[in-house]
Amino acid sequence: MTTASAAVQTSDNPGGPSANAAAARQVTKAYGAGETRVTALNAVDVDIQRGRFTAIMGPSGSGKSTLMHCLAGLDTVTDGQIWIGDTEITGLKDKQLTKLRRDKIGFIFQAFNLLPTLNAIENITLPMDIAGRKPDQGWLDQVVATVGLADRLKHRPTQLSGGQQQRVAVARALAARPEIIFGDEPTGNLDSRSGAEVLTFLRRSVDELSQTIVMVTHDPVAAGYADRVLFLADGVIVDEMHAPTADSVLERMRRFDGKRTS
């Protein structure tokens, strides 16, 4: 724990560990060995600030999904350290990792977020059911109201539209009050209107509920909803942008593409 604090304190980001919901130090992820070794992440340092909306962008194969999976404890790293809050998760056993994901992390995937056998409200409270915790009814009502699903709670996923399904997924991620929510292209499968809806909810949950969110996306419009955008290329963070807009992100991406092709 002391090494963790020390490591974070030496970082460029101000505020120390308590200000960070998640942090990565010198994280390397490689597949294979010898000549066929492919490095997906190369000594990446990242701090995810509490109560902020962070987007991770980059071209296909840049390692952005791998970074998120490693941060979320879904994937193991080859080298380096990762913290969620004050807990170092690198080196944790599956059992502890599972508990951590259950209690501290919320997930929104691109597709297939919901269990078809459970209705909307059951899906929303599932992480708490699994943990054996009673949901905080007041909070739950607020979350449900925020994502606008009050009249759809008894519906099965198959009876909901794609946008509604993703909103249920957002509500599920919010309901357990995790330290951090990870979204893996959460709007990737939605049309622009539904996507905008979902992103608005994410934004509001950061502004009104002080939720920490990390989202992987390749869509500049989606990234425009974030407080901060990290740009990844070839397994390395090459740039970051604060208070982005869709246009500035697009602009940055263009430059980025140009640099790459040149």
Is residue 116 close enough to count as binding another protein by CB under 8 A? yes
CA atoms in the 13 A half-sphere facing the CB of 150: 6
Residues 131-190 that bind another protein (CB under 8 A): 131-132, 158, 172, 189
Distance CA 154, CA 152 (A): 6
- Residue 117 neighbours by CB distance under 10 Å: 9
Min dist. Cβ of residue 142 to another protein (A) = 20
Distance CA 189, CA 119 (A): 21
Q: What is the DSSP letter of 153?
A: T
Contact code string over 58-97 relative to another protein, x by CB under 8 A: -----------x----xx------------------xx--
- Out of 1, 3, 18, 99, name the contact with another protein by CB under 8 A: 99
With respect to another protein, which residue has the nearer C-beta, 189 or 245? 189
Give the sheet arrangement for strand 87-88, strand by strand: 38-49, 20-31, 79-84, 87-88
With respect to another protein, which residue has the nearer C-beta, 2 or 158? 158
Torsion-angle region of 36 (φ positive above 0: left; ψ -120 to 50: alpha; else: beta) = alpha
Token duo for residue 61 = 């194969």
Min dist. Cβ of residue 150 to another protein (A) = 23
Tell me which stretch binds another protein (CB under 8 A): 111-119, 198-206, 237-245, 253-261: 111-119
Residues that bind another protein (CB under 8 A): 69, 74-75, 94-95, 98-99, 101-103, 105-107, 109, 111-113, 115-118, 122, 126-127, 129-132, 158, 172, 189
